[in-house]
Each structure stands twice: as structure tokens, then as C-alpha cells.
């Protein structure tokens, strides 16, 4: 009877060894699949990067200076806004926004918009911005303030980060 138990154990193998073998097989398959996808995608990424560089090289002038300053395509990233809310005053909010200008970006206008948004955020309570509807109201209010301040020169406000603590 003991011999029959030994034979069945040898035939099946240890469950731990079978688990390790299974994980090794899956790891090799995953690595091989990643390599195949990488070799298919990498040439496309290199070709796209080369095309972008070739396109940007003859532009020169103001566009090159704007791209170097972090303002490609009329987009200006504002400094992060970190302040406490009106109520409860121990709650903090951090916003990172970007403005999409129609035409040439204006950094002084962007700074005045930044200060206007900061002043507005200080008047907002936590209850006003709770939930999806509250966030949408906040986005609409900020877009309206930007439209008024910029007199239509800013087409869109993009939220990069939004954190409440």
C-alpha cells in the first residue's frame, strides 16, 4: 500500500514544483510577447519622432523660442495653485492648469489669470465641489472667469491635476 502511494506521488509531481513551472512558463511567454510587441512598435515611434524633428527644424524663429519656453501650440502651463478652501479652512486644494491660447500665448495674461483663479479658489467651499457635478461646476466657473479675463484669447482651460486634502 505504501508503494502505491509513492508511485502516485512520483507520477503527479509536487504541487509546489508544478506551480513554479507554471509561473516560469507564463513569465517566459509574457517576456516573449513583450519583446515581439516592442520590436513592432519601436520603429514606428522612432519614425514619428524623426518626422516631428524634421518638421520643427525649418520653422525656427518665434516657434522655436516658444517651444523652448514650454509653450508649444499656444499652450501655457500655469504654476500649481495650492491654497486652503473657504470652508472647512483646514482642507487644502491643489490645481495644475494649462491654458490653450488662440494664436500667440501671452505670459503676462496667463499670470493674471493664475492670480484670478487663485483668488476664486479661496472662496470655494468643499461642499460646492463635491462629486462629479461639483467638479463640473468648478470647471465651468474657472472657464467663465478665464473667458472674461482673457476677452476670448484663451480657448480652453485644461485641468492637469486636481487634489483635495
Note the pLDDT of residue 43. Answer: 78
Domain ranges of the chain: 2-46, 67-164
34-75 tens-digit pLDDT: 888 888 877 777 777 777 777 655 544 444 444 434 456 789
Do residues 78 and 98 make contact, with C-beta atoms less than 8 angstroms apart?
A: yes
Q: What string of DSSP letters covers 111-140?
A: HHHHHHHHHHHTT-BGGGG-HHHHHHHHHH
Query: Is it true that domain 67-164 has CATH number 3.30.460.10?
Result: no
Q: pTM for this structure? A: 0.56
Residues 6+ apart with CB under 8 A from 78: 96, 97, 98, 99, 110, 113, 114, 117
> CA geometry: angle at 147 spanning 146 and 149, to 5°?
60
| Res 127 pLDDT > 60 | yes
More confident residue, 39 or 5: 39
Cell 461646476 sits on residue: 137
Q: Which residues of 131-156 are buried (b: 16+ CB within 10 A; e: fewer)?
A: eeeeeeebeebbeebbeebbeebbee
**Of 71, 76, 83, nearest to 113 (Cα)?**
76
Query: How long a stretch of residues is the chain?
Result: 165
74-120 tens-digit pLDDT: 899 999 999 999 998 899 999 999 999 998 898 999 999 999 999 99
Amino acid at each position: 500500500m505504501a508503494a502505491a502511494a509513492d508511485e502516485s506521488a512520483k507520477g503527479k509531481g509536487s504541487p509546489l514544483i508544478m506551480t513554479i513551472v507554471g509561473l516560469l512558463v507564463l513569465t517566459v511567454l509574457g517576456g516573449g510577447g513583450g519583446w515581439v510587441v516592442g520590436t513592432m512598435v519601436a520603429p514606428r515611434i522612432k519614425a514619428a519622432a524623426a518626422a516631428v524633428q524634421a518638421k520643427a527644424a525649418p520653422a525656427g524663429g518665434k516657434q522655436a523660442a516658444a517651444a523652448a519656453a514650454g509653450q508649444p501650440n499656444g499652450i501655457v502651463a500655469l504654476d500649481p495653485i495650492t491654497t486652503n478652501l473657504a470652508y472647512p479652512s483646514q482642507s487644502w486644494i491643489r490645481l495644475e492648469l494649462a491654458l490653450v491660447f488662440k494664436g500667440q500665448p501671452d505670459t503676462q495674461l496667463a499670470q493674471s489669470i493664475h492670480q484670478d483663479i487663485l483668488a476664486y479658489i479661496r472662496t470655494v467651499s468643499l461642499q460646492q465641489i463635491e462629486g462629479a457635478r461639483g467638479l463640473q461646476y468648478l470647471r465651468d466657473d474657472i472657464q467663465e472667469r478665464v473667458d472674461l479675463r482673457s476677452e476670448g484669447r484663451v480657448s480652453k482651460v485644461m485641468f492637469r491635476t486636481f487634489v483635495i486634502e
